[in-house]
Structure 1
Amino acid sequence: MKLYVVILCYRVPELTIDCLRSLAPEIGRVPGMKVGVCENGTGPEAAEMIRRAIEENGWGPWCELTAISPNRGFCGGNNILIREALEWADPPEYVYLLNADTIVQPRALEILVDFMDHHPRAGIAGGRFLSPEGEVQCSPFRFHSIASELDRGLRLGPVSRLLARSAVVPPPPSSDCQADWVSGAGMMLRRSMLDEIGLLDEGLYTYFDDADICMRARRAGWEVWHVPESRIVHLEGASTGVVARVQKRRPAYWFQARRRYYLKHHGPFYAAAADAAFLTGFALWRLRRWASRRPDTDPPHYLRDSFRHSVFGAGFQVEEVQNPALVEQPLPAETFA
């Protein structure tokens, strides 16, 4: 098999169906392509809605639904389908992780497959993400650092300009380029790379997983590429509600994933420096915001939550993120042809 597309659905069955509808014309463009949908614990009604759409639209020959409960997070849900696919008699050469809240633009997958075929050291590749209005969204990215954490917290123009080369979000490139990491909302993974470095880190649950797997890939000698000709429309944050412009308290698992990422890849001293840089910068920003009477656009309790989940508040052990859905033993997965 050439390509296996994995779509994770949580609380967005209607968007998942729209995503499948955008994929239908692409099936013929990539011979040997199949799609797997993981309904990640929303409930039987959502699974039935997707199953019915697959049947009524005649997508069954190329699309299969797997329903699981409870929610395993982005990493666990995707890994269930990836792990199964890698054990097939004809495993896919590439796995493409695709968010359910996306609309695939014409030839997006064909372009990435062709790029990977011609770049054998490319372990990971991602395309350009667009808003529904056509605006370019963030991707690719630079790795998080002490400098980027200071800038993220402080939000002071002269400092941001001084630290521009450390910014996590660089200006969007117009041509193919190597990157530190690309978004997991649309990420192509080479099977031979997965065989070497492993699957998504389920200890991260849902966040920082894309930066993590790209970090592991690059450290193993694989390349990570951004291919802007491949385009995906992304309704950012539809499943989780974590969107920069929305004033909503950030969930504990976001902070826990961030701490695990820093401790896992950089060790305790670097993680402490990164936490100190952000907390200091953000505290100063809050004072400036209060003194200048600017509107408060930060998530509620963000400074307190950031400290509570930092290495200073939560410790220096590399721990797994707590899955809020795991209050009982998970039920076995069910597959619908």
Structure 2
Amino acid sequence: DLEKCLHSIWTKTGWENFEVIVIENNSTDPATFTYYKEARQRYDGLQVVNYPQKGFNFSGINNFGRQYASGDYLLLLNNDVEVRNADWLTELLRQCAHPGGAAICGAELLYPDETLQHAGVVTGLGGYAGHSHKYRKAGGSGYMFRAATVQDFSAVTGACLRVKTSVWDEVGGLDEAFAVAFNDVDFCLRVRDAGYRIAWTPYAQLTHYESKSRGGDEKDPVKARRFAAEQQRLYTGHGKANILHDPYYNPNLTMDREDFSESNDLRGLKEGRITVQWRK
């Protein structure tokens, strides 16, 4: 719900120096355009720009929106999120603004039932990529305090992703060959390959109204083929071995789930990589 998202930005955000650009993508309902007119009157400075291409391409939509942005930082933000804490923008900026800071920072996203939807992205989970601590109850510390600590990851979700504008331009924005899946992962990996860091902070919190029961693309033959093609492009662009061996994820942990449980196949041992963790 775009109104819920915009209202939360304007009423809950402590940081005052920001601009919001809504990218309209092929809507046909007249009520949508009536709402845009009302929203521009309600929210000072709100821009609504029309994406000229047909169909849905997340990468193309955001690349198009870049030309209208004037800030030193860009924030990709889905319209189905709601701000939870006043310092969310400040905390995302904090990880990027200091010398040696990250080029990209992601936020903690929660489902409406107060379980985690996103706490960083681990590449290789499920064969491609997964969300750290997904479905874990919010407020806990997680595995080795990783659900409660600012840290580096290989990638963060594009549902809420802050990036330095200069870095966005340097790597050429999102790859439009990734129309739906893995565009954020590919982007983060290209930024990391360019020598920059990717961070995640638990101190920027938003509710993400993405359905936990939403069907996967594999249930639709057309979407399944598109998903498989984008997965293969991710492997081709970054190397399957690199995708399956995230440097920020212990090789002795499972690749089948997003809960940081131990692996049953001794993957780290088979690969000659042993991690010893001392416990008191």
| TM-score, scaled to structure 2 | 0.72
Letter aligned with residue 63 of structure 2? N
Distance 1:187 1:41 in 2: 23
* Structure 1 residues 141 and 52: alpha-carbon distance in aligned structure 2, compared to 1, 3 A threshold: same
Contact kept, 8 Å, 2:178 with 2:230, in 1: the verdict is yes
Which blocks of at least 5 consecutive residues in structure 2 are unaligned? 134-141, 246-280
Pick one of 27, 33, 36 that aligns with 2:18.
33
In the TM superposition, residue 40 of structure 1 has moved relative to its aligned partner by 1.1
Letter aligned with residue 197 of structure 2? E
Letter aligned with residue 216 of structure 1? R
Which blocks of at least 5 consecutive residues in structure 1 are unaligned? 1-14, 86-90, 153-166, 275-337
Distance 1:128 1:194 in 2: 22
1:214-233 pair list within 5 angstroms = 214-233=188-207
Distance 2:229 2:235 in 1: 10
Higher helix share: 1
1:249 to 2:220 alignment: yes
1:12-161 pair list within 5 angstroms = 15-26=1-12, 29-43=14-28, 45=30, 47-56=32-41, 58-59=42-43, 61-69=44-52, 70-85=54-69, 91-107=70-86, 108-118=88-98, 120-144=100-124, 148-149=126-127
Please give the secondary structure, in 2, of the residue aligned with 1:253.
helix
Distance 2:95 2:237 in 1: 31
Contact kept, 8 Å, 1:38 with 1:66, in 2: the verdict is yes
Identity among equivalent pairs (%): 24
How many residue pairs get matched?
Answer: 228
Contact kept, 8 Å, 1:124 with 1:223, in 2: the verdict is yes
In the TM superposition, residue 119 of structure 1 has moved relative to its aligned partner by 5.2
**CA-atom RMSD in angstroms:** 2.9
| TM-score, scaled to structure 1 | 0.61
Match of 1:306 in 2: none
Structure index of larger Rg: 1
Match of 1:195 in 2: 169
Distance 2:177 2:190 in 1: 15
* Structure 1 residues 31 and 142: alpha-carbon distance in aligned structure 2, compared to 1, 3 A threshold: same
Distance 2:30 2:100 in 1: 42
Distance 1:243 1:235 in 2: 15
Please give the secondary structure, in 2, of the residue aligned with 1:200.
coil
Distance 2:112 2:132 in 1: 21
Letter aligned with residue 50 of structure 1? Y
Contact kept, 8 Å, 1:76 with 1:202, in 2: the verdict is yes
1:262-281 pair list within 5 angstroms = 262-266=235-239
Letter aligned with residue 189 of structure 2? M
In the TM superposition, residue 26 of structure 1 has moved relative to its aligned partner by 4.3
1:155-194 pair list within 5 angstroms = 168-171=130-133, 172=142, 173-194=147-168
Distance 2:16 2:62 in 1: 23
In the TM superposition, residue 192 of structure 1 has moved relative to its aligned partner by 1.9
Contact kept, 8 Å, 1:42 with 1:71, in 2: the verdict is no
